[in-house]
Structure 1
């Protein structure tokens, strides 16, 4: 029998909230095995309708097509709820797939959470 990947070692989430803005930091790999907890946390946080949500991907080391799909779903969910969504990413393993698929044109992507918050909530700065 094949071993199940150790999702807990491959991925961790750190969620903070300041002044109604939620930042979900993803650490590790985003793939088919690890994306369900990320999707669940993002969905749960969006459903609470924060002032904004930023998905911090700066410590992601692998970002596959599942990650791209996850971001598109998050954007659609956020838009339906009227919650501004920003993405913080500054490394090639995330930025290249987003650019290659042109998903970066659908999202507000900035190099760090502060810039993402400012982009989606300009009045906050």
Structure 2
């Protein structure tokens, strides 16, 4: 359950050519991790290697330990399939824990969604 000042968790995916882009907003913690895990499982299987799976975390207000674990698990899944997990992060809420754990070099972290992934259109959805 969330309070008025929390952003509700939301995760969506879309295919952009051979790439799958997963966009995540809200708080990613133990209470929301299972929903994202299922979505990422599908994204990894839907991507056409060597095309990456892009996980856009720019809408996250909180990234907990379980969320970080999911990113690492799904990066391994991508690598086993000959693909890559690209993490898009440009906020302190996401970058701080990744830096503290020295994961910005382990995960492929970028400040913006790569060109092949069109930006989300405001007002839709």
| Superposition TM-score tier, normalisation by shorter sequence | 0.7 to 0.9
Runs of 4 or more above 6 Å deviation:
none
Aligned positions of 1:89-108 closer than 5 A: 89-108=89-108
The answer to whether the Cα contact below 8 Å between 2:20 and 2:46 also exists between their aligned partners in 1 is no
2:34 aligned residue: 36
How far apart are the structure 2 equivalents of 1:11 and 1:66? 14
The answer to whether the Cα contact below 8 Å between 1:54 and 1:116 also exists between their aligned partners in 2 is no
2:69 aligned residue: 69
TM-score w.r.t. the length of structure 1 is 0.81
How far apart are the structure 1 equivalents of 2:96 and 2:52? 25
Query: How many correspondences in the alignment?
Result: 111
More helix, by proportion: 1
CA RMSD of aligned residues (A): 1.8
SS at 2:13 equivalent: strand
The answer to whether the Cα contact below 8 Å between 2:30 and 2:66 also exists between their aligned partners in 1 is yes
Runs of at least 5 residues in structure 1 that lack an aligned partner in the other structure: 118-125
Aligned-pair CA distance for 1:104: 1.4
The answer to whether the Cα contact below 8 Å between 2:19 and 2:47 also exists between their aligned partners in 1 is no
Residue deviations 1:40-99 (CA, integer Å, cap 9, x gap): 111111123432210000000011111111111111111111122101010001001001
Runs of at least 5 residues in structure 2 that lack an aligned partner in the other structure: 118-125
Aligned-pair CA distance for 1:116: 9.2
1:121 aligned residue: none
